[in-house]
Amino acid sequence: MKIVTFFKLLYNSFVKRDDWSRYYLAEKIFYLIYPKMKISEYGNIYHDDVVFKNYYEKYVGNNFHSYDRKYTLMNILKIVKNLNGHYAECGVFEGATSYLIAEAMLKNEQLFLYDTFEGLSKPSGNDGHYWEKGDLFASEDLVKSRLAKYENIQYRKGYIPDRFDEDSSFKFKFVHVDVDLYQPTRDSIEFFYDHMVPGGIILCDDYGFYSCPGAKKAFDEIIKTKPENIVFFPTGQAFIIKE
Ligand SMILES: C[S@@+](CC[C@H](N)C(=O)[O-])C[C@H]1O[C@@H](n2cnc3c(N)ncnc32)[C@H](O)[C@@H]1O
Return the ligand 1 atom nearest residue 70 CA.
Answer: 8
- Cα–Cα distances (Å) from 20 to 6, 25, 26, in that order, read 14, 9, 10
Report pLDDT digits (tens) over 58-105.
999 999 999 999 999 999 999 999 999 999 999 999 999 999 999 999
Q: Is the Cβ atom of 179 under 6 angstroms away from ligand 1?
A: yes
208-233 per-position pLDDT tens digit: 999 999 999 999 999 999 999 999 99
- Domains of the chain (ranges, CATH numbers): 3-33 (no CATH), 51-241 (3.40.50.150)
Mean pLDDT, the chain, rounded, equals: 97
HSE-CB of 107 using CA atoms within 13 angstroms: 0
CA of 123 to the centre of ligand 1 (A): 12
**What is the share, in percent, of the chain residues with pLDDT greater than 90?**
98
pLDDT the model gives residue 1: 76
- Whole-prediction pTM value? 0.97
Q: Is there an atom of ligand 1 within 6 Å of 72 CB?
A: no
Going by CA atoms, what residue is nearest to atom 6 of ligand 1? Answer: 92
Chain-centroid distance of CA 40 in Å reads: 20
